[in-house]
Structure 1
């Protein structure tokens, strides 16, 4: 998973761009976590719990996006997908679903979070 952090110095805003197929991860980091150090600490605790007990599912449900960790896989998914009705396999929403869920390795996810923290503290 490739990602890039962007800072708008005029507006004081931070943005995350992720590689194709991982856009939802960037949206989650930007919109659900952002510069909230308490949220960042919650995500770090989630990662620690997942490493300590990899057989269990570890969830962090956000307003619009949920992060789930099982073993060494992280799934980031729009909440509406887990609450909606089943769609046909060839549904016209397949492309939308592709942008609404993504998975990556726990190590990559941890690295991204650490680099985000570093990015927020550098000027």
Structure 2
């Protein structure tokens, strides 16, 4: 997963992730931002996952939902859930694409990115 952190012209930290990981951009910029309490909360949850105290945790953000488990992180756009029509209402053979609506990575990769974000905004 390739990413970079930059400051915009207003002095706001921005995370930029490669294609396929776009929801991480939104999660870091909109859901976490510079809120150190949210960063600490995530670090605590990750520690609990790593030591087996919990096996899964769901965080409902403003427009995204993050599912953390002992192996990976998955972020889903809430609009994906709301926009899926009932299969009975769709023409036969219709397929729904979730491109850009779901992003995920391994837990270790996410820990590395989160630590880098904390250092960047701190």
SS in 2 for 1:99: coil
CA deviation after TM superposition for structure 1 residue 81, in Å? 2.6
What is the CA RMSD across the aligned residues, in angstroms?
2.0
Q: Deviations over 1:10-54 (max 9, x none)?
A: 411111110110000111111000001111111112211211227
What is the TM-score normalised by the length of structure 1? 0.82
CA deviation after TM superposition for structure 1 residue 71, in Å? 2.2
In 2, Cα distance between the equivalents of 1:78 and 1:61? Answer: 10
Residue segments in structure 1 that go unaligned for 5+ positions in a row:
none
CA deviation after TM superposition for structure 1 residue 87, in Å? 6.5
Asked if the contact 2:73–2:107 (Cα under 8 Å) also holds between the matched residues in 1, the reply is yes
| Rg larger for | 2
| Structure 1 pair 53–17 and aligned structure 2 pair: CA distance change class (3 A) | same
SS in 2 for 1:98: coil
What is the TM-score normalised by the length of structure 2? 0.83
Runs of 4+ in 1 over 4 A off after TM superposition: 86-89
CA deviation after TM superposition for structure 1 residue 3, in Å? 0.7
CA deviation after TM superposition for structure 1 residue 100, in Å? 1.6
